[in-house]
Structure 1
Amino acid sequence: MKKISLMNAISPKGTAIFDDTYVCEEKAENPDAIMVRSADLHDYAYPENLKAIARAGAGVNNIDLDGATDNGIVVFNTPGANANAVKELVFAGLLLASRDLFHGMEWVNSQQGSATLAKDVEKQKKKYAGNEIAGKTLGVVGLGAIGSKVANTALHLDMNVLGYDPYLSVDSAWKLSRWIEHKTDLKDLFANADFITLHLPLLDSTKGLVNKETIATMKDGVKILNFARGGLVNDDDLLEALDSGKVALYVTDFPDGKLAGHPGVIGLPHLGASSEESEENCAVQAAKELRAYLEEGNIVNSVNMPNVSLEMRMPYRVGVIHTNTPKVLSRITDILSKDDANIENLLNKSRGDVAYTILDLDTAPAEESLEAIRALRQVMRVNLFEKDKA
């Protein structure tokens, strides 16, 4: 019986993916795998039996990736599962920023009990009229699962769309409309966009991407939307730009104490992926990723290990997570050959300093052989998968 530890409330549609060979428990002890949404696992002591962590969402900032990798623990996320929910909220943000609906609604709510509200509306509405988004230029920074959806939808709303992504994947490129103007220089996008929307992961290279220097390259009166990660924007520099009028408005799903209440900030309480449908999609995808790994050793959508997928046709499979260094593979095969087991299929892939090898065998490897592989100093984890027990 495999044990799944639920570190947050997980949609029942996700846990229903596991069959009766699994048990799902809240914060279970010594689990085979973890499903998590927002719980902070940086101080979590990894149990010896833990093989995988699945984040039901895209961001993995709440997980100690280095520690997981060192312990041979595969960390998954669910890219694209929440893309539609975030995309829809981005367009709500665009309309809030363009038509000043937010302050208009605030004024209406302040008029409770007014006998002259219907008349006063006609005088007041000019303050909140704003502009249409049709004909305006939207700069989309990051063209992954969410950014590509935002860019394509903006075209249908008659916006001009500029896109920037130096790491654009082939799959994402296929999904983009040919009418999106692809920029190779971020400064060029900043200089020509009326609205800028951020769809990037938070990395050392992207932290504080919007700062005093980059804001200076933007149009006067630009409006910035951030439904990706709060750390992409330098709050102090942004507030200075808001006060000077360089930036007209900032719409963010990641408000903090510095930003809350500023007249140029519309802050939302991290609602991006919080729709019922999104939470269900993320939970289902995370559960499928865990089953694929725990049952057959296949890795799909990992953020810290190479993605490796091979149909399991033989009765036994050995999965080895190891350092990406010379001669490791030959040492593994030499050990298994002593069992007179024939390696029917072998697949090895690397990701930076880490490699993953799966070996399909026609007979069961001896436990002594598996222990010998585990004893190799380059090896972090060895798992045995049996087809009839999947």
Structure 2
Amino acid sequence: MFHIQTFNAIAPEGMARFDKENYAINEGDAPDGIILRSQKLHDYAFPASVLAVARAGAGTNNVPVKQCTENGIVVFNTPGANANAVKELVIASLLLSVRPILQGAAWVQTLTGEDVETQAEANKAQFAGHELEGKKLGVIGLGAIGAMVANDAYRLGMEVMGFDPFVSVDTAWSISRRVQRAQDLNELLTSCDFITIHVPLSEKTQGMIGAAEIAKMKPTAKLFNFARGGIVDDAAVLAALESGDLAGYTTDFADEKLLHHEKVLVLPHLGASTDEAEINCAKMAARTLKRFLETGVIKRSVNFPTVEMAFNSPYRLTIINKNVPNMLGQISTAVAAEGINIDNMINRGRDDFAYTLVDITEDDPAKVAAVADKLAANPEIVRVRVIQNQGVC
């Protein structure tokens, strides 16, 4: 029986993946896995039982990833599950930035009298705007969201340029060949009428768009941030708006100093706030966490490498260790010392840590436990887990 703890309200469509025969939800204080949305865990005292944390969303800034890694806790996210929701909001915001739709709608509500239609027709010129067709959009970050924004903006008749030095093969296949690829960030900043950001927040992207980058943009350019607040220097944006060096800013991250500015549109973090996105994220998070707990397979982790291997043996050992030389040799020696044959084995490293799956032919649980204890005593090994294959044993 696995124990799952939830933070926030997780869509029931996702939680339904945890069958009652094998999973207990929010029972006891020793969970095997945690699933959450926006709850901050930086001050949370993780029980020693926790094996994994699944974030039903793309960002993991609310999870102490480094601490989890050091304690052998795998952190998952759900990239792409909410991409369509964010993409649609970005497209809507692009339209709002060139057509004063919100202002016009608010103004109509102030009209009175039997000739409301006449008044509206007589004064509508004050809400005339521009069209997106023929304008140039720069997309910084061509992951799941950025690629969708780029493709749909092109379909609206925009010229699109993308910049991402780390485009994956899967993403490359999904991007329209008509989307130009910038060789560097400066090329995009200096040539685009609209710039939208879709990169994760990290040490490298913190303050990625600051005064120096904004100075390279056209004074008529408009900037959009639906990624994370810390990626854009809000003070630099406000200074550029006041000096006329930037035409507008739309962000999904509320900051008091951005409020009540005529050239700024602040949204209350609506990017993934659709029923469909919440359901998709919950389903993916639950599926990923369930597969890891039952088979040890890692996919969509932000702190450990992807490690997948078919599970056909009676038992599987999962090993999280420091990424140092000769660990595979030490693991193999420890298994062999118990007279156990290795049926299959895979190892992948990521930065300072590595993850290994070892499938063994042994069906004596006492011997399997003995080798697991021996491995766990190795100071370079952070965590060892034994998984019994319910379909074999």
- The Cα of 1:210 is off from its aligned counterpart by 1.6
Contact 1:241 1:247 in 2 (8 A): yes
- 1:86 aligns with 86
- The Cα of 1:27 is off from its aligned counterpart by 8.0
CA distance in 1, matches of 2:82, 2:48: 31
Q: Deviations over 1:23-43 (max 9, x none)?
A: 353485110000010000001
CA distance in 2, matches of 1:27, 1:386: 23
Contact 2:3 2:26 in 1 (8 A): no
Contact 2:362 2:368 in 1 (8 A): no
SS at match of 1:388: coil
Deviates more, 1:16-25 or 1:376-385: 16-25
- 2:41 aligns with 41
Contact 2:369 2:386 in 1 (8 A): no
CA distance in 2, matches of 1:285, 1:121: 48
CA distance in 1, matches of 2:210, 2:114: 47
- 2:169 aligns with 170
- 1:366 aligns with 368
- 1:285 aligns with 284
- 1:11 aligns with 11
- 1:382 aligns with 384
Contact 1:90 1:150 in 2 (8 A): yes
How many residue pairs match? The answer is 389
- The Cα of 1:102 is off from its aligned counterpart by 2.2
CA distance in 1, matches of 2:192, 2:315: 56
CA distance in 1, matches of 2:123, 2:198: 35
SS at match of 2:105: helix
Q: Scaled by the length of structure 1, what TM-score is found?
A: 0.97
- 1:59 aligns with 59
Deviates more, 1:59-68 or 1:261-270: 261-270
CA distance in 2, matches of 1:248, 1:96: 14
CA distance in 2, matches of 1:139, 1:157: 14
Q: 1:287 to 1:361 in 2, by over 3 A?
A: same
Contact 2:347 2:355 in 1 (8 A): yes
- 2:134 aligns with 135
- The Cα of 1:105 is off from its aligned counterpart by 2.2
CA distance in 1, matches of 2:163, 2:180: 9
CA distance in 1, matches of 2:316, 2:391: 12
SS at match of 2:103: helix
Superposition pairs for residues 201-350 of structure 1, below 5 Å? 201-350=200-349
- The Cα of 1:97 is off from its aligned counterpart by 0.4
SS at match of 2:187: helix
Q: Which amino acid aligns with 2:15?
A: T
Gaps of 5+ in 1: none
- 1:155 aligns with 154
Q: Cα RMSD (Å) of the superposition? A: 1.4
- 2:31 aligns with 31
Q: Which amino acid aligns with 2:200?
A: P
Q: Scaled by the length of structure 2, what TM-score is found?
A: 0.96
CA distance in 1, matches of 2:205, 2:335: 44
CA distance in 1, matches of 2:332, 2:115: 85
- The Cα of 1:116 is off from its aligned counterpart by 4.7
- The Cα of 1:115 is off from its aligned counterpart by 4.8
Deviates more, 1:226-235 or 1:364-373: 364-373
SS at match of 2:292: helix
CA distance in 1, matches of 2:118, 2:168: 55
CA distance in 2, matches of 1:23, 1:129: 58
SS at match of 1:350: strand
- The Cα of 1:304 is off from its aligned counterpart by 0.3
- The Cα of 1:269 is off from its aligned counterpart by 0.8
Contact 1:6 1:28 in 2 (8 A): no
Q: Deviations over 1:148-183 (max 9, x none)?
A: 001011111111000000111111111111100000
Q: Deviations over 1:82-135 (max 9, x none)?
A: 0000001111101110112122223223x1535553233234322221101011
Q: Which amino acid aligns with 1:93?
A: S
- The Cα of 1:213 is off from its aligned counterpart by 0.7
Q: Which amino acid aligns with 1:31?
A: P
- The Cα of 1:261 is off from its aligned counterpart by 1.4
CA distance in 1, matches of 2:244, 2:377: 63
- The Cα of 1:57 is off from its aligned counterpart by 0.3
Contact 1:6 1:24 in 2 (8 A): no
Percent of aligned pairs with the same amino acid: 46
CA distance in 1, matches of 2:304, 2:101: 45
CA distance in 1, matches of 2:233, 2:9: 32
Gaps of 5+ in 2: none
- The Cα of 1:221 is off from its aligned counterpart by 1.4
Q: Which amino acid aligns with 1:315?
A: P
- The Cα of 1:333 is off from its aligned counterpart by 1.3
